[in-house]
Homo-oligomer: A and B are copies of this chain.
Amino acid sequence: MNPASSTSATTPPPIIDCDIHPAASKAYPVEPFIPEEFREAMRQGMGGEPGHGHANPFGVTRRDASCDDPHQVGRDHLDRYGIAYAVLQPPGMRVSLTHNIDVGSGKARAWNDWQINTWLAADRRYLGSVCVNVRDPDRAAAEIHRAGEHPQMVQVNVGGDSDDLYGHRRYFSIYQACADMDLPLCLHPGSEGSLDSSTPVGRPSTYFEWHTGIPITFQAHLISMVTEGVFAKFPRLRLVLCEGGVAWLAHTCWRMDKNFKALRATTPWLKRLPSEYVFEQVRLTTQPLEEPANPEHQLQLFEMIQAHRTLMFATDFPHWDFDDPTRVFPRKIDAALRRRIMYDNAAELYGLPPADEVTREARGALTQV
């Protein structure tokens, strides 16, 4: 089955996968892209990032898959499911945790050049995420302007763990650069608990507990960005909440809207209901999608969070909790809604061709493999 390269009438609609995790490998190493001035520092261990101490005891990568060769992933993942585009979430999303700020910024640049020269060069279906060191906002802004010029770079990545809530103005130069370059900001987890506890009241014991709590950081950052007025002040900014769950968005919006009524005098920059900023400027990726026992609840939840415009499909390939595009949604999901989640919402956000032009596009991409 290779729907992306077929033009038959039975071709299933194309898919955009907003979250795959390429790894460096012997064939595609990152070292050549480390700026020369930081190579000695890296060799001396000054580029290490703190760990959070919560390892998945069964491994994070699926035992039947790997993601360290763009050509193999093109066949094993993109071709297999008819994925027209896949957004890379590179290892560089953790660079902001590096204690040596210059090394952190150097690593961000390296992961960007690595993406451009390996994965993005190998196949036009891959789309890149600009890595930045949020502890060095001005340099991060410059890097967004530099690496963001590449036509396959579609967003700017930051990690869940951070020194400060993302509504703080220390990060505003990053948001200005995103808005200037028309690149959404993408928040991805993976490092919560590296700098401080991953909850406000202590450290989880197990990976199970830690992983279940990932939406906690996402809620904190989103509430911060909305109430501090990031979306009001940067109306062109778009935020992608990637791999942090989706169902919590309903109660977070309801709670913000309710409090806004009584407390809006303290946030005079908010001219509309908090949820209006969210539904207009925030998008979420599906994986890991919550799976209530009653599939009806899933569909109700989709309506509550306006999934027809906010939700974008993702697999998290090749990780352990990978969501299979053929199985992840309830059977009763409306076909038009499914298409918007599987393709249209991401295509509109990232400026990709509409679904009906995709077969040709994807075929073009495949000839490069």
Residues in chain A within 8 A of chain B (CB atoms)? 56-58, 160-168, 192-193, 196-209, 211-213, 215-217, 219-221, 223-224, 227-228, 245, 247-248, 250-252, 254-260, 262-267, 288, 290-294, 297, 300-301, 303-304, 320-321
How far apart sit A257 and B297, CA to CA, in the bound complex (Å)? 15
Copies in the complex: 2
How far apart sit A248 and B255, CA to CA, in the bound complex (Å)? 10
In contact, B164 and A201 (Cβ under 8 angstroms) = yes
5 closest Cβ contacts across the A-B interface? A247-B251, A199-B220, A254-B290, A208-B263, A209-B227
Among A160, A163, A301, the most chain B Cβ lie within 10 Å of the Cβ of A301
Residues of B within 8 Å of A266, CB to CB, are 57, 206-208
How far apart sit A198 and B265, CA to CA, in the bound complex (Å)? 22
A248-B251, A251-B215 known; A262 vs B320 contact (CB < 8 Å): yes
Residues of B within 8 Å of A262, CB to CB, are 58, 320-321
In contact, A255 and B200 (Cβ under 8 angstroms) = no
Among A168, A208, A321, the most chain B Cβ lie within 10 Å of the Cβ of A208
Residues of B within 8 Å of A57, CB to CB, are 263, 265-266
Closest to A251 in B: B247
Choice from B197, B204, B245 contacting A251 with Cβ under 8 Å: B245
Choice from B58, B201, B224 contacting A162 with Cβ under 8 Å: B201
Q: List 18 A-B contacts (CB under 8 A).
A: A160-B201, A162-B202, A163-B201, A163-B202, A167-B205, A208-B267, A209-B227, A209-B228, A212-B256, A212-B259, A215-B251, A247-B251, A250-B292, A250-B301, A257-B293, A258-B288, A292-B304, A300-B300
Among A160, A219, A224, the most chain B Cβ lie within 10 Å of the Cβ of A224
Choice from B257, B260, B265, B291 contacting A254 with Cβ under 8 Å: B291
Choice from B219, B221, B263 contacting A206 with Cβ under 8 Å: B263
Residues of B within 8 Å of A265, CB to CB, are 57
In contact, A255 and B321 (Cβ under 8 angstroms) = no
Distance in Å from the Cβ of A222 to the closest Cβ of chain B?
A: 10
How far apart sit A251 and B241, CA to CA, in the bound complex (Å)? 16
